[in-house]
Structure 1
Amino acid sequence: MIPPDPAPRPIDHVLRGAPDDAALIDRAGAMTFAEAEAAVGAIAAWLAGQGLDPGDRVASWLPKTRTACLLPLAAPRAGLVHVPVNPALRRAQVAHILADSGAGLLVTQPARAATLEAGDVSAGCVVVAEDAVPLDAGDWLDKSRADPDALAAILYTSGSTGRPKGVMLSHANLWLGAVAVAHYLRLAPSDRVLAVLPLSFDYGQNQLFSTWYAGASVAPLDYLAPRDVVKAVERVGATTLAGVPPLWVQLVETEWPDAAAARLKRLTNSGGALTPRLVRGLRERFPAADIYAMYGLTEAFRSTYLDPALIDAHPDAIGRAIPFAEVVVARADGSRAAPGEPGELVHAGPLVAQGYWRDAARTAQRFRPAPVWSVSGGTAVWSGDTVVEGEEGLLRFVGRDDETIKSAGNRISPTEVEEAVLAGGEAREAVALGVADPRLGQAIAVVLAGDPAREPALRARLRTELPSFMQPQRYEWRDALPRNANGKLDRAGVLASLDPSRDGEEL
């Protein structure tokens, strides 16, 4: 099925709803599409007057305010590149992203800016309070005429090694992602989408773009407890909710007014697999909702989705390619894997990102020529994930070949956790691993060499230096950690040494 309007446009053209319809709903009320368009133009004009050069990076470190929701459109309209920073990150991670992206401007709140220390922000980066960014100034910029292949955003994502890396996304990447999702979710102008995921997450940011492309309303929400989500569904009349498995577990366990639960007609999941038990729980709690299981990676946005009509019969499937994506299964030698044969998921087509920002080596590892037998050709993302094509052409996720920890929908670099653990000197050595957890998908376990009496001090320090989703839940201490023949830490040996009596314990 070919979606409508496939020709890519600049991403700031995505505000397509009727002028008087609500584009954005928050506690301050509703912002119409006409008002949102004017605000994007005002912010873009303000950015154009800040002395930045075309292509310079503008970072935002904000909760889901109106400014945070509109900057992804305003920065590209001004010829700049938007770099959203997860508001859950702490100063060390923020400093890395600012330095790595070479941001010339950071829009944040005074309380957040006050947590940054000397050296966290380079001399070439200006920190601006969110209140200084106009939403209704007299000056404004009209819709851009940018080349759809021009860089529009850099989203930072963690891998198995090193610090977060910036994925470069063009206008076309973002536009076609919005078109594809609006199309296969069958979003309509009457829909109201409750956006609970971080806007720095490609899945969360796309909720804005796909909703607005469909002419529907989006209600951004920063929540502290599952009950906040329930209240927001009631307050805004949400019809659509996207989440990750740990959130669904919490929402299934939360009391819902029957009317609010019945109002939701569309649930979308990514960032981890749904279990058959969880699918049954969602069915019981939200009887009117279609459940969409999806698979994606930031380097290609979204690869597959499963038609809701198939999820009961195939609860472990990740589905088929979304519009604009070509997804194939390749053997190690690059040939096509046969149905039923495990192989690497390779994503080709116009949703493939432009590579990693200023990192040619890692770009060459992940972004490689598509298999010669693919239809799209060109550059493809070799995901490193193993899948199997099963009956009805549906793909099933088997596992990943790297050591990335995937917890509560977040991809976490074990190296980054290890560096933080060792920074204070409480342990001599550390290895971070993902262990199965029914609520988080994976929990972070750290195996350390050193004195276990230092653990309270270590925990206290990490609470101030790492965001909540990167906090280790399990600590195991050793006199020494196993090493391989080359003298390097043996991660497989460390994993094998984990105390099995602690498996499944309450973390």
Structure 2
Amino acid sequence: MPVAADPVPRPLDHLSLRGDRSAPALVDRTGLLDHAGLDEAVSRLAAGLRARKLQPGDRVASWMAKGRLACILPLAAARAGLIHVPINPQLKHHQVSHILADSGARLLIAGKGRAATLEAGDRPTGCALAIEEEDGAALLSTDDRLPPSAADPSDLTAILYTSGSTGRPKGVMLSHANLWLGAISVAHYLGLEGDDRTLAVLPLSFDYGQNQLLSTWAAGACVHPLDYLTPRDVIRAVKRHGITTLAGVPPLWIQLIEADWPADAIGSLRRLTNTGGRMSLSLVRRLRELFPEARLFSMYGLTEAFRSTFLDPALIDAHPDSIGKAIPFAEILVVRPDGSVSDDNEPGELVHAGPLVAQGYWHDPERTALRFRPAPADAVHGGIAVWSGDTVVRDRAGLLRFIGRDDEMMKVSGNRISPTEIEEAAIASGATAEVVALGLPDERQGQAIWLYARPQVEDADERLRDWFRRNLPSFMQPTRIVWQEELPRNANGKLDRVVLRAEALAQAEKDA
């Protein structure tokens, strides 16, 4: 039977206590762990972390591939009373340095190859380094064990870093209750059962990537983590393990529908879930054709409140552009600028209230105050709500449709990217002194990054492209760089993004 939507939060590490103790919980390159073995591994790793002289409340960062250590760490850190800071494996050393310094991490666990890219000063004083290949076995095999924690569910247990519209990544503070209820909610509305097998392809630093683990274990089911290089790797894993649940972002789905799927790989899939960007109508239709027996879940969320809405798969064919209704434990309102609830078919800002709302941004009260504000007067849940900045419209049936983002954030291959971060990197290259980064609609990536820049040196194009290749991950690489001797300005003397966006859209339409 699917897991019940139990509204009572518990310490996060108690997820390892759920399910049939002899049933598979985790299958990776080192073998299989049943649910009893999962809890044993969590207990040992928690004790191993404490043995590193970490105290409750200390931050432990992870920057590694999806091995056993990475998968178990969220629960083990929670059991040890620590605060987990997962770092996207694609980030470069200077971005990692910012996260380590900003979070005040006391320990970084990293793969040997990634650790070797760190430069002098990247790891702050007081932040120890543990190499996964050298120290991981010792952390997991200590003779000591920690029992299930008695943490207050409101205690902080994780900080997930996400790009912000004003520049460098900001840390979203998540409690035990946030992650516990998120896991129970997703397991419930997806209808996960004990015999399900989830292929975890999304990065574990991504809120839904981590939820792949947590919701599966909440249902007493099994996770198969995969760091893939090509769509063929995903298809082979689905076939080999009889995968029933696959989560992805639109660019991955596009790659998968263009690949050759053996009939015996398709049959095991019970559900497909999409996050990290809107699926186009053509993509929805092609997924439905390729996987006619799988239930397709379209979802909307933001790290500050994890997940907000999902569309009942029975409605996807009739409402392919809808993001659905509130998930369990979420209260969703569509409000006018004055905070009153909008009418049906009247655009408004999506506001998320209830127990899934995060605790704000780590050591950033100013940005916290902008996004986390008192819930609208009509909200059932009082307290603080997340004001998303996204415009949606609600129809008479209560279904929501995404209209657009009010801020200038870009979303490329499921990754939220700050234009400011891209622009600062361009200026740091020395190739340009003025630059504007824009996100344009793109069928494969969700959005593509276009740069408008004024050259500062003769070899500006070569220098800038080389700088991006060496310093930014693949999803931050610009699709197009447009060089102009002068960039347009508005009446206030600022670079005119409106004019440049119109120019870019016109060029993109011409190219198409």
* Contact 1:346/1:380 (8 A) holds in 2: yes
Alignment partner, residue 132 of structure 1: 135
1:387 to 368, 392, 400: 392
User: 1:373 offset after TM fit, Å?
Assistant: 1.1
Alignment partner, residue 273 of structure 2: 268
2:424 matches 1:422: no
2:478 matches 1:472: yes
* Contact 1:306/1:319 (8 A) holds in 2: yes
User: 1:274 offset after TM fit, Å?
Assistant: 1.5
Q: Distance in 2 between matches of 1:2 and 1:379?
A: 28
* Contact 1:437/1:504 (8 A) holds in 2: no
TM alignment of 1:150-299, pairs within 5 A: 150-299=155-304
Flag structure 2 segments of 5+ consecutive residues without an equivalent.
Answer: none
Q: Distance in 2 between matches of 1:320 and 1:421?
A: 40
Alignment partner, residue 488 of structure 2: 482
The SS at the match of 2:299 is strand
Alignment partner, residue 31 of structure 1: 33
Alignment partner, residue 14 of structure 2: 13
The SS at the match of 2:397 is helix
Q: Which range moved further: 443-452 or 323-332?
A: 443-452
* Contact 2:3/2:191 (8 A) holds in 1: no
* Contact 2:81/2:151 (8 A) holds in 1: yes
Question: Judging changes above 3 Å, is the alpha-carbon distance between structure 1 residues 188 and 2 closer, same or farther for their aligned structure 2 residues?
Answer: closer
Residues 49-106 of structure 1 deviation map (CA, whole Å, 9 limit, x = unaligned): 2222221100000110100001101111111100000001111111111011010100
Q: Distance in 1 between matches of 2:505 and 2:295?
A: 41
Alignment partner, residue 79 of structure 1: 81
Q: Distance in 2 between matches of 1:500 and 1:406?
A: 20
User: 1:39 offset after TM fit, Å?
Assistant: 1.0
Alignment partner, residue 307 of structure 1: 312
Q: Distance in 1 between matches of 2:509 and 2:432?
A: 23
The SS at the match of 1:144 is coil
Question: Judging changes above 3 Å, is the alpha-carbon distance between structure 1 residues 44 and 269 closer, same or farther for their aligned structure 2 residues?
Answer: same
* Contact 1:2/1:323 (8 A) holds in 2: no
Give the counterpart letter for 1:22 in structure 2.
Answer: P
Alignment partner, residue 122 of structure 2: 120
User: 1:18 offset after TM fit, Å?
Assistant: 1.5
* Contact 1:3/1:323 (8 A) holds in 2: no
TM alignment of 1:268-417, pairs within 5 A: 268-417=273-422
User: 1:391 offset after TM fit, Å?
Assistant: 3.2
How many residues are matched? 506
Q: Distance in 2 between matches of 1:448 and 1:151?
A: 42
Q: Distance in 1 between matches of 2:254 and 2:344?
A: 33
The SS at the match of 1:456 is helix
Alignment partner, residue 103 of structure 2: 101
Give the counterpart letter for 2:460 in structure 1.
Answer: R
Question: How high is the sequence identity, in percent, across the aligned residues?
Answer: 62
Q: Distance in 2 between matches of 1:479 and 1:54?
A: 55
1:91 to 90, 93, 100: 93
* Contact 2:3/2:193 (8 A) holds in 1: no
Q: Distance in 1 between matches of 2:83 and 2:3?
A: 30
The SS at the match of 2:168 is coil
* Contact 2:415/2:475 (8 A) holds in 1: yes
Residues 313-338 of structure 1 deviation map (CA, whole Å, 9 limit, x = unaligned): 00110000000000011100001100
2:51 to 43, 49, 52: 49
Q: Distance in 1 between matches of 2:34 and 2:458?
A: 57
Flag structure 1 segments of 5+ consecutive residues without an equivalent.
Answer: none
The SS at the match of 2:288 is helix
Q: Which range moved further: 423-432 or 318-327?
A: 423-432
User: 1:502 offset after TM fit, Å?
Assistant: 4.2
The SS at the match of 1:393 is coil
Residues 129-170 of structure 1 deviation map (CA, whole Å, 9 limit, x = unaligned): 113132232111011000000000000011222111000000
The SS at the match of 1:163 is strand
* Contact 1:263/1:288 (8 A) holds in 2: no
Give the counterpart letter for 1:486 in structure 2.
Answer: N
Give the counterpart letter for 1:243 in structure 2.
Answer: G
* Contact 2:91/2:473 (8 A) holds in 1: yes
| Alignment RMSD (CA, Å) | 1.5
User: 1:487 offset after TM fit, Å?
Assistant: 2.3
* Contact 1:388/1:396 (8 A) holds in 2: yes
Alignment partner, residue 497 of structure 1: 503
TM-score by length of 2: 0.97
Give the counterpart letter for 2:103 in structure 1.
Answer: S
* Contact 1:8/1:176 (8 A) holds in 2: yes
Alignment partner, residue 445 of structure 1: 450
Residues 466-486 of structure 1 deviation map (CA, whole Å, 9 limit, x = unaligned): 000011111000001122233
Q: Distance in 1 between matches of 2:211 and 2:5?
A: 18
Q: Which range moved further: 214-223 or 122-131?
A: 122-131
Q: Distance in 2 between matches of 1:121 and 1:287?
A: 49
Question: Judging changes above 3 Å, is the alpha-carbon distance between structure 1 residues 2 and 51 closer, same or farther for their aligned structure 2 residues?
Answer: closer
* Contact 2:3/2:219 (8 A) holds in 1: no
Question: Judging changes above 3 Å, is the alpha-carbon distance between structure 1 residues 55 and 505 closer, same or farther for their aligned structure 2 residues?
Answer: farther
Residues 444-467 of structure 1 deviation map (CA, whole Å, 9 limit, x = unaligned): 001000157421222122111000
* Contact 1:19/1:34 (8 A) holds in 2: yes
* Contact 2:5/2:185 (8 A) holds in 1: no
User: 1:414 offset after TM fit, Å?
Assistant: 0.6
Give the counterpart letter for 2:135 in structure 1.
Answer: A
Q: Distance in 1 between matches of 2:101 and 2:493?
A: 33
